[in-house]
Amino acid sequence: MSLSLYLHFTNDLCVHLSTVKRIMQACELEHYIVIHPNTTAVIQYEAGAAIKGAHGVNVSRSRFLPVKSCSDLLLIKSDVYLLQHGHLVINPNRMFETTPVIKLGDHFKKIAQFQKRFMKIPHIIDLDHLTVTGDVYFRRNVTLRGTVIANEGHRINIPDGCVLENREPLIPTDVCRVDRAMIAPRDMYDTRRISAISNTTHRRAYLVYLRHMDIARQARIRIIRSKGV
């Protein structure tokens, strides 16, 4: 499509069919040829470039849920979304208005790889950012919170019931065992208590406070373990 004429391309166009028929019969369409040199050899005609006087419809981000990659698939299959009356809606228990950023690397590029590496979709309702470029396998009932980054160069098997929070970068020695001491007390993240804070700024500040408290608690646990207590 000619970017000099049309600045927005939504992949979703509505047309007046009788007008299209009249223009086609009059041979008035001007097709632009788009060449993709790095893909399969094809010649692509962009019929949308012939449409003038088009109107745009502003659709909220919550309704725009494309699934063009396994990163997108992980998000919509997770507990961030609920299925209500045939529509995906953001889980009201999520503490943030935005969805988490998820970036999966080449190890997760194909659906077969995705299914092999995720025995079960992790709990990511409290996740902010996930980047996985390394050779990582997620087993069942894994919970990811905050920011978790697993870089290339390590093979990591995340065991059943593991809770990972703010691990950047994640290395094999960081992968936890199922240990009650490493799991945050449930009342810390009591959604009813948090929802009672009406001011958005105050609620976010309280969440940051909870995260720092949880990080400090886990740091104390690691120190105790290193001393062999």
Sign of torsion over alpha carbons 109, 110, 113, 119: positive
Three-class DSSP category at 136 = strand
Give backbone dihedrals phi and psi of 211, rounded to 5 degrees, phi first: -60, -45
Closest to 56 measured CA to CA, from 110, 11, 94, 108: 11
3-class secondary-structure state, position 24: helix
What separation in angstroms does the CA of 217 have from each of 163, 165, 221, 226?
14, 12, 6, 15
- Looking at 68, 103, 110, 227, which residue is catalytic? 68
Residues shown for the chain: 229
Half-sphere exposure of 156 (CA within 13 A, CB side): 25
CA dihedral 59, 60, 65, 69 (to 10 degrees): 90
Closest CA to 159 of 135, 179, 142: 142
Annotated active-site residue 68? The verdict is yes
Question: What CA–CA distance (Å, rounded) separates 127 from 148?
Answer: 8
Active site residues: 68
